[in-house]
Amino acid sequence: MSSPAAARGEKAASQTLKAVLKLRDLIVSGELAPGERVPELQMVERLDVSRTPVRAALMRLEQENLVEALPGGGYAVRRLSEPDILVSIEMRGTLEGLAGRLAAERGVSAAHLAEAGEILDGIDRIVRPLDLDIDLALYVDLNAGFHALIAEMAGSPALTLEIERVAAMPFASPSALVPLEAGSPATHHVLTIAQEQHRTALEAIAAREGSRAEAILREHARNAQRNLRRALASGRQLMELAGGRGR
């Protein structure tokens, strides 16, 4: 193809990454309908890469549960039902709970505890003030950092990787369902509760109370389930993001 794509200020590091990003966007934005077939050649023109990275991207998205391999060959956009998403969240909670328990049982370094504490302090500074105008972007950042840290504290790369994998599933990320309106009291309330769970979970880990940490982290993920249900009840927007299937 053309030689210096980067010279024009394009953002693609590798063609495969470019394809993954674009494809994921097409699916999540609903431009590719659930159940729809994803022909490679069509994607070649739509994504402006050759077949090779398209195929690589499809394989990766298969791992992410965004597309499924068809028995006869090829791929189709996965249909995501509400229960599917709820289970994904439950899986994340379960695995994060496992991570928390392992971290508690094995004990974690002071450095880890300190780092986690700092993140939580940061969240406090966002959530504690009665100022309703919350910096959601910053919250999402810190929140993701805290969850990543919990995974890491278990000291098992395999577990960390698995949590990441599950969290990559649509709407299963710890930060996926925060998009409530930035100014509302409901948002403030939800975040306050979540932060309290962060605190107690970290406390339990520090105190080496394994099952307590596990239970809290599981329950913590259920916040996301509740948020999802509420978002769905108050309008289908999220489902459209998930891939359009209004139903």
Partner DNA sequence: AACCGGCATTTGGTATACAATGCCACCCCG
Partner DNA sequence: CGGGGTGGCATTGTATACCAAATGCCGGTT
Give the binding site for a second copy (CB under 8 A): 1-2, 55-56, 59-60, 63, 65, 71, 73, 83-84, 87-88, 90-91, 94-95, 98, 102, 154-159, 161-162, 165-166, 169
Smallest gap from Cβ 72 to a second copy, in A, equals 8
Is 68 one of the binding residues for DNA (CB under 7 A)?
A: no
Smallest gap from Cβ 246 to DNA, in A, equals 22
Residue from 9, 73, 235, 246 binding DNA (CB under 7 A): 73
Smallest gap from Cβ 65 to a second copy, in A, equals 6
Smallest gap from Cβ 47 to DNA, in A, equals 9
Question: How far apart are alpha carbons 186 and 226 in whole angstroms?
Answer: 13
Contact residues toward DNA (CB under 7 A) are: 1, 3-4, 14-17, 37-42, 49-53, 55-56, 69, 71-74
